[in-house]
Amino acid sequence: MAAIKTIGILTSGGDAPGMNAAIRAVTRSAIFSGFKVKGIYRGYKGLLTNEIVDFKTQNVSNIIQMGGTILKTARCQEFKSPEGRQLAYDTLRQHEIDALVVIGGDGSLSGARAFATEFNFPCIGLPGTIDNDLYGTDETIGYDTALNTIMECVDKIRDTATSHERLFFIEVMGRDAGFLALNGAIASGAEAAIIPEISTEVDQLAELIQNGFRKSKNSSIVLVAESPVTGGAMALAERVNKEYPEYDVRVSILGHLQRGGSPTARDRILASRLGSAAIDALLDDQRNVMIGISNDEIVYVPFSKAIKKDKPINRSLLDTLRRLSI
Amino acid sequence: MAAIKTIGILTSGGDAPGMNAAIRAVTRSAIFSGFKVKGIYRGYKGLLTNEIVDFKTQNVSNIIQMGGTILKTARCQEFKSPEGRQLAYDTLRQHEIDALVVIGGDGSLSGARAFATEFNFPCIGLPGTIDNDLYGTDETIGYDTALNTIMECVDKIRDTATSHERLFFIEVMGRDAGFLALNGAIASGAEAAIIPEISTEVDQLAELIQNGFRKSKNSSIVLVAESPVTGGAMALAERVNKEYPEYDVRVSILGHLQRGGSPTARDRILASRLGSAAIDALLDDQRNVMIGISNDEIVYVPFSKAIKKDKPINRSLLDTLRRLSI
Amino acid sequence: MAAIKTIGILTSGGDAPGMNAAIRAVTRSAIFSGFKVKGIYRGYKGLLTNEIVDFKTQNVSNIIQMGGTILKTARCQEFKSPEGRQLAYDTLRQHEIDALVVIGGDGSLSGARAFATEFNFPCIGLPGTIDNDLYGTDETIGYDTALNTIMECVDKIRDTATSHERLFFIEVMGRDAGFLALNGAIASGAEAAIIPEISTEVDQLAELIQNGFRKSKNSSIVLVAESPVTGGAMALAERVNKEYPEYDVRVSILGHLQRGGSPTARDRILASRLGSAAIDALLDDQRNVMIGISNDEIVYVPFSKAIKKDKPINRSLLDTLRRLSI
Amino acid sequence: MAAIKTIGILTSGGDAPGMNAAIRAVTRSAIFSGFKVKGIYRGYKGLLTNEIVDFKTQNVSNIIQMGGTILKTARCQEFKSPEGRQLAYDTLRQHEIDALVVIGGDGSLSGARAFATEFNFPCIGLPGTIDNDLYGTDETIGYDTALNTIMECVDKIRDTATSHERLFFIEVMGRDAGFLALNGAIASGAEAAIIPEISTEVDQLAELIQNGFRKSKNSSIVLVAESPVTGGAMALAERVNKEYPEYDVRVSILGHLQRGGSPTARDRILASRLGSAAIDALLDDQRNVMIGISNDEIVYVPFSKAIKKDKPINRSLLDTLRRLSI
C-alpha cells in the first residue's frame, strides 16, 4: 500500500468524556506530522451516509474541555454486514482517506478489526468507554471522569442518607465489569459494592450492613453495577427490604448522567497522549492495534486481544473496601 | 410568659442544602444576643426521645458549606397526636427551653403551628425545602442549590443526548410545584417543562419536539416534575414512544441526589439572613411566624398563610422557555 | 424611523458568565418574533472593522452553558470619538441593521447611550458584569456565578487555613462596589469583608480577628475588594502583619478566574429573561433603556440612570456578617 | 521490641487533599486488625505539646470527602533538634504508642527517618503532597486533586482569555518539580509549560506564541511552575512584555487554593489503599519505609530513597504538549 497521506477519524458506540480531547490530539498530531485529516460524523454510519469534512487545527480548538463528541456517535447495523463495509470502503477511497482512527469501546473496535482485515486498511483504535473494560490498557478514556461523577453523586446522596439514617442502593454503569462500582464505592466511602465479577449473597450483605448499624453508623450505601449478573439495584433492594423490613431502604439509579460532563485532568491527559500516539503508530507502520497505556507507557494492543480478553479486576480492593467500611 | 433565655433549634422533614448554614446562623445570632442554644436531634422525634445537647459557637464551626443537616432529621408520627406534643412540651420545659426555631417544609411548619397554639409556646419557622413551595417567601433554603444540581445533571445528559441525537425525559422533584422543573428547563436550555400547574397534551409536546428536530436540532430534552399530576417521566416517555416510535427516547430520574450537595452562595446567604432574623424576631416578640424574604427584605409570614396558600408560579417563564427552544 | 427588521447584537467590556445565554436569548427571541439577527464581533470594534455575520437559531445552539462570549469582546478607544461612532453608524446602515442590543457594563452602556443620542438609533442594553454595580437592576448577568466562584475558592483556601491555623486575606473583584466581597464573605463563612463603601480601621479588624482567635477559632479569613479605596489585600496584610506579627498571615489574589466558568442557573435564567425582554422592549417601541430585573419583574431603566446612579449596598449584611463570625 | 499494640497517626507539612481519606484508612484498618489508634494533632508539634486523643472508627466517619486534615498540621522547628525528638519520644511512650504513621512530604518523612533511626521506633510514611515530588511512588496523595483544581481554574481563565484574545501566564505550585505545570498544561490545552526541570528561553517561548497567534489562535496560555529556577509567572511576563509589547499580557497566580478542595476519586482511592497498606506493612514487620504505589501495586520505599532521589518527569509529555498546541 502506498504511503498514508490522509487520516480519517470517527467516534463510535457510547460516548465518553475525553473523546473530544482525543479527536483534538489525533487531529493536531496528524497535522503536525504533515497528514491531512478528515472528520467522519456519526461513527461508521457517516461512512455510509458520506458525512465527512476536512479538519484543520481550528476545528478542534476549545474542545478539550467538552463532554460528548463533536463528531457525534451512532450505532450502525449496516456496517456489520460485508455489503455495508464495502460501501464504507468505497466512501473512504472516494475521500482519499488512507487510514482510520476509531475511538470507541469493544463493539467499535470489533468493527474496526473486521474492516481492517477485509480491506487490508490501516486502522488504529483508541479505547473510549467509561466502563474501563478493554484489555491491554490500564485505563480507558472516560473512566476517570465517570468515576468522579459517580463519587460526586454519592457524596450528595450521602448528605441525605446521613441526615435521614437510611440504607441506599445506588446503581452505576458496568454491564460486564465492576470497575466503576468497586472503585466508586471506595472513593465515596460506601459500605459495599455489588459487581458482576463476584457473587454476593443477600445474607452476607445484610450482615455487613447490620454490623454497621450496630456500631452506630447512621447510614449505609451500597453501589450496584447495572448488570444481568447483579440484577440491578432495584431487585436487590427489594430482596433486602423483604428480609429485613426494619431498614429504611431507598434506591437511586444514576443513569445517563454518568456518560457526560467535562473530562477530568486524567482523562484529558490520557486522551491527549493516546491520540498523539495513534499518529506515531501510523508513522511506525503499525495497524490494527489499539493504543493503550500500561505503567505510564504507551503500548500497542492487537485488536484481537483488546476485545477478546477479559480485563481482571483488582480483587484486593474488595478487601480494602471491607476494612474501611467498619 | 417570662423572658426567653434558651432557644431550641431543630430541622425536620426532607433535608435541604443550607439547613446547616441556617443552624449556624440561628446559633451564633442567638449567642451574640445573649441567649443559650440547645440543639435538638432528629426533628420533633428528638423532643420525644430527649436527644438534646448544648450548642456553643464551635458546634457550628465549619458547617456552612455542608449539605444535609448536622442535627439530622426524621418524620415523626407521634408528634401529630396531642399526647406526643404534650410529651414534647414536657421535654422542652425540662431543658428550660423557652422558644423553638424549626427549619423545614410545610409539614414541619404545620407541626410548629399546632404546637405553638396548644402550649402558647414561641415558635419561629424557617423555610427549608428544595421545592420552593412555601407561600410568603420569594425563595426557600435549598431551592437554589437543587436548581443548580439539576442544571449540572442536565448539562451532562445533554452531552450524551447531543452526541447520540436523542430525546430525553428527565424527572426532577416537585410534587406540588413546578419551580424546579420550569426554571431547571430554562437554565439548562431544555425544550420543554411538564409541571403540575399546567396540563400538557402529548400532542402539543410532540409537535414542539418535532418542530425542533425538523429545524435540525440534534437532540431534545424535556424536564418533568415528579408529581401525580404529570404522571412522571416514565409514563410520559411511554406515551410519546407509543405515538411517535421514530424517536430514540430515553428516561432519566434524578432522584435523591437533588437533595444533597454543598449549598450555593445564594442558599448560604439566604440561610444566614433568615437564621439571623429568627433571633431578631424573637427579640421583637414575634412568634408563630415563618421568616421569609421578599424583594430582598426580611418578612414575617404567619404560619397559617405560609402553609395554606399556594405559591403561584411565574407563567411568563413558560413563554420564555417556548421562545428560547426554537 | 421605519420599522425594525434586523437587530445587531454585541458584547462589550469585561466578559461575564451568562453573556452567551443572553446572546442566545436575544437571537432566538428575535427570530421567534420575525426579526433578522446579525452578530457583531469584538464589541464596538467590530462595527469599525466590519466583523458582522448573520445569526440563525443554530448559531446559538449549545452555548447557554459556556462562560465567556462567543461574540468576543474588546475595549474600543475609537468608538469614544464622534468620528468612530460615525463609522460605526455607516457600518450598521450598510448591514441594514436597525437596532442594537448591547451586553456589557457601565462603560459599554455609556457608549450605547452616546451613540443612540447622536444617531437617533434604537439601542437596548443588558447589564453584563460580575460586579453587580449597575443601578436599576437587582442583579447583573455574571454576578451570581462570580459569587459562587469566589465562595468555592474560599472553601478551598479554608481547608488550608484551618489545617494550618492561619489568617488569610483574599482579594476579590469589585473596584467600585463591595457586592462580591461582602456577599462572598457571608457565603463562605469568612470573618470580615473590606469593601469600598465602608472605611475599615486596621485596629477594628485586628480586634475582630483577635476575638476570634481567643474564642479558639483556628483560622480567620478576610475578603478584600480590589479597589483604590481599600488598598487591596496585599497592602492590608502588610499593615496587619506589621502591627500584629504574632499572626501567620497569608494573601491570595483570586484574579481573572472570577470572570470565567459555566454560568449558574440563576445567571442563565436572568440572561434568558433579560435577553428575551430586550426584544419585547423593541417591539414595544422602547429604546435607550437597559433591561433590568426588580423584585422578579422586568423593568426598563433609562441609560442615564443605570450608569450615573450609585447602587447602594445592603448595609444590614455587614451586621449579619459580624454576628455570624463570632 | 515488643509487639505493636497502639499506633499513632499524624499529618505534617503542607496539607494536601486526601490526607483525611488516609487518616480514615489508617484508623479503620488498624482497628480492623486489632490495634488501638491515637490521633496526634498538629504534626510533630503535637508530640511536644501532648495533643493526642483516642481514635475510634467514628472519629473518621464522613471525612473521606473533606479537604485539609482533621488532625491539623504545622511546621515544627523543635523536632529538628535531638532534644525535641527526645521529648517526642517520651510523649509517645507515655501514651503507650508503639508505632507511628506519618502523612506528609519530604520534610515530614525526613523527620520520621531521623526519629526512627535515633529511637529504633517503627515509623511508616505515606506520601502526602500535591507536588508529586517523592521518589518511588507513581503518585502522591493530593496530586490528582491539585491537578484538577489547576485545570478548572485554567478552564475559567481561558473563557476570559479567548473572549479578550489575550496572552496569560498562570503560576502554579511546584517548587522543585514540574508535574503540576506540565500535566496541567496538557490537561487544560495550554500552549506551553515552564518547569524547573527544563530551561526555557524567552525567545523560544515567544516564537511558539507568535506562531499560535499567526495561525489565528485567539488566545494563549502558559503555565509556570512557582520556582526559583523558573523565576515565576510575574518575572516571565515582564520579560515577554518588554520584548513583545504588542501582546496583551496578563498574569494570574493561583496560590493557596491549589492545596484545598474535596479530593478526587483517584486521590481518595490512593489514600485508602496506602493507608490500609501502612497497617499491613506494620503487621509484616516493615518499618522506616514510605508506602508507595507503582504500576498499581503497593510498594515499600525506604525513607532514604523516597527523600533523596529526584523523581524524573516524563519528558515525552513536553513533546506531546508542543504538538497539541499548534
ipTM of the complex: 0.95
Whether residue B209 is predicted with pLDDT greater than 80 in this model: the reply is: no
Residue D215: per-residue pLDDT: 62
* CA–CA separation, D190 and B202 (whole Å): 48
Q: How is residue A85 written as a grid cell?
A: 463495509
- The average pLDDT across B3-26 equals 97
Q: How far is CA A251 from CA A222, A237, B102, D91, in A?
A: 10, 7, 29, 49
Indicate the pLDDT class of residue C201, thresholds 50, 70 and 90. confident
Residue D1 inside a domain? The answer is no
Indicate the pLDDT class of residue B275, thresholds 50, 70 and 90. very high
Alpha carbon A290 to chain centroid distance?
Answer: 14
Using a CB-CB cut-off of 8 Å, the residues of chain B touching C215 are 57-58
Whether residue B248 is predicted with pLDDT greater than 90 in this model: the reply is: no
Whether residue C202 is predicted with pLDDT greater than 80 in this model: the reply is: no
**Whether A126 and A209 share a structural domain:** no
Using a CB-CB cut-off of 8 Å, the residues of chain B touching C188 are 64-65, 268
Residue D242: per-residue pLDDT: 87
Of the ranges B32-36, C311-315, D199-203, which one carries the lowest mean pLDDT score?
D199-203
Select from D68, D160, D253 the Cβ nearest to the Cβ of C253: D253
Select from D11, D156, D259 the Cβ nearest to the Cβ of C160: D259
How many Cβ atoms from other residues are within 10 Å of residue D14's Cβ? 23
Using a CB-CB cut-off of 8 Å, the residues of chain D touching C168 are 256
**Whether B227 and B122 share a structural domain:** no
- Name the average pLDDT for chain A: 93
**Whether A13 and A161 share a structural domain:** no
* Percent of chain C residues past pLDDT 70, beyond the cut: 97
The answer to whether A273 contacts D317, with C-beta atoms less than 8 Å apart, is yes
Q: Is B281 on the interface with C (CB under 8 A)?
A: no
- The average pLDDT across B215-231 equals 85
Indicate the pLDDT class of residue D217, thresholds 50, 70 and 90. low
Select from B29, B162, B183 the Cβ nearest to the Cβ of C323: B29
Whether residue B182 is predicted with pLDDT greater than 70 in this model: the reply is: yes
Residue D285 inside a domain? The answer is yes
* Amino acid letter for position A128: G
Residue A55 inside a domain? The answer is yes
Whether residue A302 is predicted with pLDDT greater than 70 in this model: the reply is: yes
Residue C217: per-residue pLDDT: 64
pLDDT tens digit sequence for A171-192:
999 988 999 999 999 999 999 9
Substitution target from B157, B160, B169 for chain A, most A beta carbons within 10 A? B160
Residue C266: per-residue pLDDT: 98
- Confirm if C128 and C19 have CB atoms less than 8 A apart: yes
Whether residue B2 is predicted with pLDDT greater than 80 in this model: the reply is: no
* CA–CA separation, A145 and A16 (whole Å): 9
Using a CB-CB cut-off of 8 Å, the residues of chain D touching A295 are 295
Tell me which residue of D78, D73, D171, D48 sits closest to D129, measured CA to CA: D73
Whether residue C180 is predicted with pLDDT greater than 70 in this model: the reply is: yes
CA-based nearest distance B265→chain C, Å: 5
Look at C310 and D110; give whichever has higher pLDDT.
Answer: D110
Indicate the pLDDT class of residue C240, thresholds 50, 70 and 90. confident
Look at C211 and C56; give whichever has higher pLDDT.
Answer: C56
Residue D80: per-residue pLDDT: 93
* CA–CA separation, C217 and C211 (whole Å): 9
**Whether A170 and A237 share a structural domain:** yes
Residue B316 inside a domain? The answer is no
**Whether D294 and D240 share a structural domain:** no
CB contacts under 8 A, B 167-186 vs C, are: 183-184, 186
Residue C160 inside a domain? The answer is yes
- The upper half-sphere exposure of residue D82, i.e. CA atoms within 13 Å in the direction of its Cβ, equals 3
Angle between helices D316-324 and A265-283 (to 10 degrees): 90
How many structural domains comprise chain C? Answer: 2
Select from D11, D155, D256 the Cβ nearest to the Cβ of C250: D256
- The average pLDDT across A276-287 equals 96
Q: Is C256 on the interface with D (CB under 8 A)?
A: yes
Q: How is residue B76 written as a grid cell?
A: 415523626
In the numeric block, the cell 474488595 is attached to: A318
Paired strand residues for B213: none
- Confirm if C104 and C45 have CB atoms less than 8 A apart: no
Strands (E), C106-241: 123-127, 167-172, 192-194, 220-225
In the numeric block, the cell 494550618 is attached to: C164
Continuous segment of H or E residues that includes residue B291? strand B289-294
The chain B residue lying nearest C34, using CA atoms, is B323
Q: State the chains in contact with C (3 or more Cβ–Cβ pairs under 8 Å).
A: B, D
**Whether B126 and B14 share a structural domain:** yes
Residue B286: per-residue pLDDT: 94
**Whether D179 and D238 share a structural domain:** yes
Residue A1 inside a domain? The answer is no
Residue B128: per-residue pLDDT: 97
Using a CB-CB cut-off of 8 Å, the residues of chain D touching A326 are 28, 31-32, 57
Burial (Cβ within 10 Å: 0-12, 13-18, ≥19) of residue B246: exposed
Order across the sheet with D192-194: list the strands.
D192-194, D220-225, D167-172, D249-253
Query: Which residues constitute the domain of residue C64?
Result: 6-142+263-308
Residue C137: per-residue pLDDT: 97
How many Cβ atoms from other residues are within 10 Å of residue B4's Cβ? 19
Using a CB-CB cut-off of 8 Å, the residues of chain C touching B276 are 320, 323-324
**Whether C268 and C255 share a structural domain:** no
**Whether C171 and C248 share a structural domain:** yes
Q: Is C274 on the interface with B (CB under 8 A)?
A: no
- Confirm if D45 and C165 have CB atoms less than 8 A apart: no
* CA–CA separation, A31 and A37 (whole Å): 7
- Confirm if A17 and A142 have CB atoms less than 8 A apart: yes
A225: three-class secondary structure by DSSP: strand
Whether residue D2 is predicted with pLDDT greater than 70 in this model: the reply is: no
In the numeric block, the cell 448591514 is attached to: C95
The chain C residue lying nearest B156, using CA atoms, is C65
Indicate the pLDDT class of residue C214, thresholds 50, 70 and 90. low
Q: Is D65 on the interface with C (CB under 8 A)?
A: no
Query: Which letter does DSSP use for residue A184 in this model?
Result: H
**Whether B128 and B21 share a structural domain:** yes
Paired strand residues for A8: A38, A100
Whether residue C213 is predicted with pLDDT greater than 70 in this model: the reply is: no
Q: Which CATH number characterizes residue C110's domain?
A: 3.40.50.450
Q: Which CATH number characterizes residue B196's domain?
A: 3.40.50.460
- Confirm if D240 and D157 have CB atoms less than 8 A apart: no
Residue A315 inside a domain? The answer is no
Q: Is the dihedral of CA D242, D244, D250, D254 positive or negative?
A: negative
Select from B68, B158, B250 the Cβ nearest to the Cβ of A162: B68
Residue C123 inside a domain? The answer is yes
Of the ranges A88-102, B242-256, D285-299, which one carries the lowest mean pLDDT score?
B242-256
Whether residue B222 is predicted with pLDDT greater than 80 in this model: the reply is: yes
A19: three-class secondary structure by DSSP: helix
**Whether A228 and A98 share a structural domain:** no
Q: Is A320 on the interface with D (CB under 8 A)?
A: yes
**Whether B18 and B133 share a structural domain:** yes
- The average pLDDT across D104-115 equals 95
Q: How far is CA D117 from CA D74, D120, D305, in A?
A: 22, 5, 15
pLDDT tens digit sequence for C137-159:
999 999 999 999 999 999 999 98
- Name the average pLDDT for chain B: 93
Q: State the chains in contact with B (3 or more Cβ–Cβ pairs under 8 Å).
A: A, C
The chain A residue lying nearest D294, using CA atoms, is A295
The answer to whether A155 contacts D265, with C-beta atoms less than 8 Å apart, is no
